[in-house]
Amino acid sequence: MKNSGFFVRLEDCARRNDSLLCVGLDPPLDDVPTAEIFAFNARIVDETIGIACAYKPNSAFYEARGPEGHAALARTIEYIRSKDVPLILDVKRGDISSTADAYARACFDVLGADAVTLNPLLGGDSIESFSKRTDRGLFILCHTSNPGARDLQELDAGGVPLFVRIAALARTWNGAGNVGLVVAATFPDVLARVREIAPDMWVLLPGVGAQGGDLEASVAAGLDRKGGGLLVNVSRAVCQAPDPGKAAREFRDRINAARAEVRAGAPAENALFDSLALGLHDLGAVRFGEFTLKSGQKSPLYIDLRLLVSDPGLMALVARALAGILGGLRYDRIAAIPYGGLPIGQAVSLATGKPLLYPRRETKEYGTKKLIEGTFTKGETVVVLDDLVTTGGSKLEAIAPLAEAGLKVRDVVVLVDREQGAGKELAARGLALHSVLTLGQLLDALVRRGRISGAVRSDVRAALGIR
C-alpha cells in the first residue's frame, strides 16, 4: 500500500517535532469577536509551532460567523500552510455523487485543506470523491466522543458493533494509503479493538482535555506497531489556556511519556491503573493520614469513592473499567450496594445495558415496604457491585436480602480491593471477588506517577499488612 502525500507529511512533522499532538483551532463563539478570529488563531499557531504536528480547525466555529468567519478560516488555513504543518479541516461531510464532489472541491481546492473528517453513514460511494484525491488525507468517523455515540455506533451490524464494521470498511477504502479513522479517547477499549482491525492506519483521537478522555490509556491502546499512527487532538485545553504554548508542551510531554512506557514494554493495564489512580488522587478520593474504617480498623489512608459523583469523566472511566470485568461474567442484573456503590452501579448499568437493582440499607416503613428496589425475577443471577471492599462483611450483609428474595449471587465486583481479607472471606461463602484495582496496584500507580514516595507506599503496606 502506497502512503499518501498527506500522511507522509504528517509522519515527517511528527518525527521532526517529536510530537503526536494536534491542536484544534475552535475560537469560542462568545469570547472571540469575528474580526479577531485570525489574530486569535495566529497567536495559538505561533506559540505552539514546533510543538504540535498538525492543526485542526472545526469549520462550525467559522461558518457560524457568516462570510467574515469563512474568510477568517481561509486566512487561517493559508497561514498554517505557510508554516509547513499539516492541516485537517474538521467538517464531518458525507453526501452522494455530485454533492460529495462539490464538498471535496470546497474543502481541498477552495479552502486548501490537507485533510478532512468524513461521516461514512452514506457508504463507500460517498467517500470516493475525497479518496480519489490521493495527495489529501481523510479521517473517517468510527467512534466519536459524545455520550450518545453508543446509540448508533455500537448497534449490531451483522454480528459486530457498527464501529467495527466501519473500521473494516475503511481498510478497504484505503487503497491509496490516504484514509485514517476517528476514534475518541473517551472509549479506550473501543480504540484497542479498532487498532486490532486497522493496525497500520492513522487514528485521529479527539476527546482529550475538556471532554475528559483518558490520554494515557488511549495512547497505550492506539499506538501502531512503530509507536506512532495516533494523532491526539486537544482543542479547548490548549486554545483557551492562559499560556497555550505551555499547555501544548505539557500535553506533548504526557503523550511522549505514555509512548515511552509502551516502548519499554510496560503492561497495557498500567495505563488504566495510572489514569484511575491519578484521577482519584486529584479528586481527593485517596488521602493519606490516620483514619478509622467502618470495620473499626485503623488505616493510614482513606479512600472516599463517593466523591466520584462530582467527576463525570472519571466516573465514566470507572464504569468502563468495571464493565470490562463484567464482560467476562454470566449474570442477569447488577445489584449495587448503597451508598457508595449505587451511583457507580447506575453508571455501569448505562455502560453495559444491564438492568440495575439495589438492596435497601433499611426497611421501608411505608408504601410497599420493599427490601429491594428495582424489578427482577426469582432465580435470576445478580452481580453484586460496590465501590471498595475491606473485609467483606458489608458485602455479605447486602447479599442476605438478595438471597432471601430468591436471587443467585456468585460474583462480587468492586473498584478497589483493600487486600485485607475480603477475598478469602467471600470465597469461604462460595463467592468470587473481582476488582479493577487492588490497593497495592493503586499505590504502585501513585508511586509510578510521582504522587507519593516509595517510602510512603512501604509504610502503608506495612501498616495494613499488604505483601
At residue 269, does pLDDT exceed 70? Answer: no
Written as nine digits, the cell of 165 is 464494521
What would the pLDDT profile of 438-451 be if each residue is shown by its tens digit? 999 999 888 877 78
| Sequence-ordered list of residues with C-beta below 8 angstroms from that of 390, at least 6 positions apart, any chain | 293, 294, 295, 297, 418, 420, 421, 422
What is 5-266's CATH number?
3.20.20.70
What pLDDT does 369 receive?
66
The alpha helices in 312-408, defined as continuous H runs, are: 312-326, 341-352, 393-404
- The SS3 of residue 364 is coil
The Cα angle at residue 213 between residues 139 and 235, in degrees rounded to 5: 60
Tell which CATH architecture fits domain 286-464: 3-Layer(aba) Sandwich (3.40)
Q: Read off the pTM.
A: 0.63
Going from N- to C-terminal start, the domains of the chain cover 5-266, 286-464
Q: How confident is the model at residue 331 (pLDDT cuts 50, 70, 90)?
A: very high
- In this structure, the number of other CB atoms found within 10 A of the CB of residue 64 comes to 10
CB 56 within 8 A of CB 234: no
What would the pLDDT profile of 85-138 be if each residue is shown by its tens digit? 999 999 999 999 899 999 999 999 999 999 999 999 999 999 999 999 999 999
Q: What does DSSP assign to residue 52?
A: B
Q: What does DSSP assign to residue 316?
A: H
Q: Write out the catalytic residue numbers.
A: 92
CA separation for the pair 236, 239 (Å, rounded): 5
Quick one: average pLDDT of 30-39? 93
What would the pLDDT profile of 203-233 be if each residue is shown by its tens digit? 999 988 767 778 888 888 899 888 899 999 9
Task: Give the E-state strand segments of 178-248 in sequence order.
Answer: 179-183, 203-205, 230-234
What would the pLDDT profile of 384-441 be if each residue is shown by its tens digit? 999 999 888 889 999 999 999 999 999 999 999 999 899 999 999 999 999 999 999 9
CA separation for the pair 465, 467 (Å, rounded): 6
Q: Name which residue leads in pLDDT, 372 or 186.
A: 372
Q: How confident is the model at residue 297 (pLDDT cuts 50, 70, 90)?
A: confident
What's the alpha-carbon Rg for the chain, to the nearest Å?
A: 25
- Give me the chain's average pLDDT, please: 90
CA separation for the pair 312, 192 (Å, rounded): 22
Q: Name which residue leads in pLDDT, 279 or 229.
A: 229
